[in-house]
Amino acid sequence: MRIPHILGNWKMHKTRAEARETLEAFWQLMADYEGPVRFGFAPPFTALETALRTREALGARFLLGAQNLYPEPRGAFTGEISPVMLQDLSVDFVILGHSERRHIFGETSSLVARKVRAALDHGFVPVVCVGETLEEREAGRAVEVVETQLRESLAGLAPEDLQRVIIAYEPVWAIGTGHTATPEQAQEMHAQVRRVLADLGARAEEIPVLYGGSVKPENIEGLSAQPDIDGALVGGASLKAESFAAIIRRARFSRA
């Protein structure tokens, strides 16, 4: 049985004080939650320790993630964060291959694959992002692009390693634009992702595949009802405690 996950990506938002305030407000809304969804946040690196201390003080059950890592334990890599540093912060998951990393910072799928390996070796759950641009979709290349990204980003992983990975399908044209893939469009690509995972030797029916791209309380029910959608990677709507809590509570996963 796949476990649904709803994860918030705060991107380059929130000071330490703002992070603490948001997490405290969120937990007031969610402390009584007993549903099937695992949920958590990926704050900016500067707020990770604050988030950890806040979680401890609240006795809260939310997961903590990082938005990136560099695939070396230490060294002369100015501006980067190592997996050893993230272990020191009790990180649970790491977002890798996000479209903003790929398109703004030029990250290749081969680099993402190195990061995935490092994340697994240090005990984190890699949340591996794939997705096509609007131009690629309109050219009829969406499936080809996503499959290539997926295969290259997971290159070299043994089947047992694949079982420890979460995939996030995020169509680039829907991220932060207010435009969301229809539930049917998202389901079609999620099913394709699962076929590729099976071809790579994974027990694909056990691997969570999340949707990301302008997820909000108003559209989570339709998305979560699809048979191959196992949750969401949420951007802007995760910055407010009320909207993120509403997304989690309104989700209706068919397998849960």
Residue with tokens 């056990």, as numbered in its chain: 206
Please tell me which residue in 100, 107, 170, 190 is annotated as part of the active site. Answer: 170
Mean pLDDT computed over every residue of the chain: 96
Measured between its terminal Cα atoms, the distance across the chain in Å is: 8
Q: Are strands 93-96 and 231-234 parallel, antiparallel or unpaired?
A: unpaired
Which of 81-95, 134-148, 170-184, 190-204 bottoms out in mean pLDDT, i.e. has the lowest? Answer: 170-184
Catalytic residue among 98, 100, 136, 190: 98
Q: Which residues, listed in sequence order, are joined to residue 233 by a DSSP beta bridge?
A: 7
Q: Is the pLDDT of residue 59 over 70?
A: yes
Tokens standing for 235? 């951007």
Residues 166, 5 contacting (CB under 8 angstroms) = yes
55-83 average pLDDT score: 98
Residue-wise pLDDT for 184-219, tens only, equals 999 999 999 999 999 999 999 999 999 999 999 999
Position 131 pLDDT exceeds 70 = yes
Instruction: List, for residues 220-245, the tens digit of each pLDDT value.
Output: 999 999 999 999 999 999 999 999 99
Q: Is the pLDDT of residue 177 over 90?
A: no
Q: How confident is the model at residue 255 (pLDDT cuts 50, 70, 90)?
A: low
Nearest to 204 by CA among 147, 170, 163, 233: 163
Distance CA 82, CA 28 (A): 33
For residue 90, count other CB atoms closer than 10 A to its CB: 13
Give the span between the Cα atoms of 256 and 119, in whole angstroms: 28
What are the beta bridge partners of residue 6?
A: 39, 232
Contact 72, 118 (CB under 8 A): yes
CA atoms 138, 142, 143, 145: torsion sign: positive
Q: Please say if 135 is a catalytic residue.
A: no
**Is residue 44 helix, strand or coil?**
coil
The question of whether 98 is a catalytic residue gets the answer: yes
Residue 256 has pLDDT above 70, yes or no: no
d(CA 229, CA 231) in angstroms, rounded, equals: 6
Tokens of 24: 């405290």
What DSSP designation does 46 have? Answer: G
Radius of gyration of the chain (CA): 17
Scan for tokens 């071809």, then name that residue: 199
Pairing of the two strands 231-234 and 38-42: unpaired
Do residues 109 and 97 lie in contact, with contact meaning Cβ atoms separated by under 8 Å?
yes
Burial per residue of 103-136, b for 16 or more beta-carbon CB atoms within 10 angstroms, e otherwise: eeeebebebbbbbbbbbbebebbbbbbbbbbeeb
